[in-house]
Amino acid sequence: MVDVILGLQWGDEGKGKIVDFFAKDYDVIARFQGGPNAGHTLYVGDKKIVLHQIPSGIFHDDKTNLIGNGVVLDPVVLKKECDAVASLGVDYKKNLFISERTHLILPTHRALDKASELSKGQEKIGSTLKGIGPAYMDKTGRNGLRVGDLLDKNFTTQYIKLRMKHQRLLDNFNFQEDIHQWEEEFFEAVELLREFKIVNGEYFINEKLQAGKKVLAEGAQGSMLDVDFGTFPFVTSSSTISAGVCSGLGIAPQKIKEVIGITKAYCTRVGSGPFPTELSDSTGDFIRNAGNEFGSTTGRPRRCGWIDLVALQFACMINGVTQIVMTKADVLDELAELKVCNSYRVNGEEKNYVPFQMNRVNIEPIYKIFDGWNTNISSIDRFENLPDKMKTYINYMNSFLKIPVNYISNGPGREQIVHVKK
C-alpha cells in the first residue's frame, strides 16, 4: 500500500515537516520527482535541517528511504546534504537507496538553466537555477545520463559527448562563465555516489509492497507548479501530482490509497507567474514576516496572499486528494480579518474554475471574509481547544472542498500538530 503526501499550492506548504511527522507509520519513504529545487525543512530536536534530495524520512533510523527514477539528482548537492545529515548522527549509507534510472544533473545543466533564464529577461520563470529544466529536457529528449550509467566503464566518454552537445547550446546563448570548478566538484561527488546502494527501484519498491510494507511517497514542489496542470510556463519540469507517483517510482495506480494534500492556511509563491490572491500590501508583508516566508533553497522572499479555494479545489480534483493537512495556521494568529477566495471574476464574469492561461485574462479574486481568531495557537495540542473562529474557518474549507482537513499544523516543530477528531 502506498500513501502520498504532496503540495496543493505553489510549493513550500510544509511537506518536509509533515512527511517527517507521518514517517513513523511507514516502512519506506520515497521521493518520486523533482530534485534539488526542493527545500524541505524539518526539525530534529531544536536543529533545523533543509533537505533537497534526500527523502524526509532519513531521521528515522528504522526507515528505508528511496530516491526514485522520476527524480533528477545532482551528486554535488547530494554530497553536501549527506555531510549535513551525517553531522546529526545519521548513517545515510545504511538507509538511503537510489534508483539506477534516476537522471543526473550535470554542471552544464546548471549552466544551461542560468543561460536560459538570462536570455528570457523580464519573462524569466524564476527558476531555482539548479538545472532542473535542462535535466528533464535531456530525459525526454533521450540524451540524459542516469545513476546506473555511473557504473559503466564508458561513463566519462558518455559525459564528454553530452557535455559537448551542451557546450554548443551554451555558445548559442553566448554563456561565458567558467564551469571547470563545478565539474571538479561533480566528479568528486560522483565517486561518493558510486558507493551508494544503487538499486533497480521498481523491483525494489514492488518487492517491499508484496511483502506488506507501507510506502509513503513524498512530493516536491506543488500541484500549481505541475508541468501539465500548473500555471504554465511558470512551472517546474516534472509531474508533481499523484499521477507522478506511478511513473516516478514504477508502481501501479491501484496501489495508491491515501492522497494527503498539504495546504498552508494562506498561500505563497516564489518565482514568477500568476498568483490571483497575492497581497502587495502591509498584510502581505505581515504574513511574510510572521511565517518567515523566505525560500528554503534560494532565500528569496516568497510572495504571500490569501488562501485560494478555486485553485485548491482544482488541485484536489487532479490529485484525488482524500484528506488535507493545513499548515502554518499559527501565522494568521494576530490578523483581525481573514479572506478566503471562493471564486474568480475572469474578464468581468464570475467563474469557479482555473482558466487556461491565468496571465492572459484579468482575474479578480472574490472573497468571503472571516473574523480572525486572535489567539496564540502554537502550543495547543487538542482540536477542542482551538478557538471557535478558527473552527469556523476550517469548517468552511471542509464544506467547500468536500474533503476533510484532518490535521492542523501550528508551528514548525515536530510535535506542533493538532489532529482533527471527528
Per CB under 6 A, the list member of 116, 231, 272, 410 interacting with ligand GDP is 410
Binder of Mg ion out of 2, 3, 6, 12 (CB under 5 A): 12
Q: Exactly one of 12, 20, 113, 226 binds ligand GDP (CB under 6 A); which one?
A: 12
Site for ligand IMO (CB under 6 A): which residue of 4, 5, 7, 85?
7
Cβ(9)–Cβ(222) below 8 Å: yes
Catalytic residue among 40, 103, 109, 166: 40
Does 34 bind ligand GDP (CB under 6 A)? Our answer is no
Which of left, alpha, beta for 102 (phi over 0: left; psi -120 to 50: alpha)?
A: beta
Q: Of 3, 12, 113, 330, which one is the catalytic site residue?
A: 12
Residue 221: CB minimum distance to Mg ion, A: 8
Per residue, the 3-state secondary structure of 112-145, as one string, reads HHHHHHHHHHHHCCCCCCCCHHHHHHHHHCCCCC
Nearest residue to ligand IMO by CB is: 271
Q: Which residue in 2, 5, 13, 20 binds ligand GDP (CB under 6 A)?
A: 13
**Is residue 126 part of the contact set for ligand IMO (CB under 6 A)?**
yes
Classify each residue of 73-89 as buried b or exposed e, where b means 16 or more C-beta atoms within 10 Å of its C-beta: bbbbbbbebbebbeeee
User: Is 149 an annotated catalytic residue?
Assistant: no
User: 107-120 vs 155-172: helix axis angle to the nearest 10?
Assistant: 10
Judge whether 279 and 306 are in contact, CB under 8 Å: yes
Residues 6+ away with beta carbon under 8 Å from 314: 223, 229, 353, 354
Q: How many CB atoms lie within 10 A of CB 16?
A: 26
Quick one: which segment of 6-14, 142-150, 305-313, 390-398 binds ligand IMO (CB under 6 A)? 6-14
Q: Which is nearer to ligand IMO, 127 or 342 (CB)?
A: 127
CA distance 217 to 31: 6
For residue 207, the minimal CB distance to Mg ion (Å) is 31
Could you tell me the smallest distance in angstroms from the CB atom of residue 328 to ligand GDP? 4
Interface with ligand IMO, residue 128, by CB under 6 A: yes
State the binding partner of 225 from ligand GDP, Mg ion, ligand IMO, none, CB within 5 to 8 A by kind: ligand IMO
Q: Restricting to residues 165-204, name those near Mg ion by CB under 5 A.
A: none
Do 326 and 407 meet the contact criterion of CB atoms below 8 Å apart? Answer: yes
Q: How far apart are CA 36 and CA 51, in angstroms?
A: 9
Stretch that binds Mg ion, among 115-123, 129-137, 194-202, 291-299 (CB under 5 A): 291-299
Helical H runs in 309-358? 309-319
12 included as an active-site residue = yes
* CB nearer to Mg ion: pick between 56 and 313: 56
Catalytic (active-site) positions: 12, 40
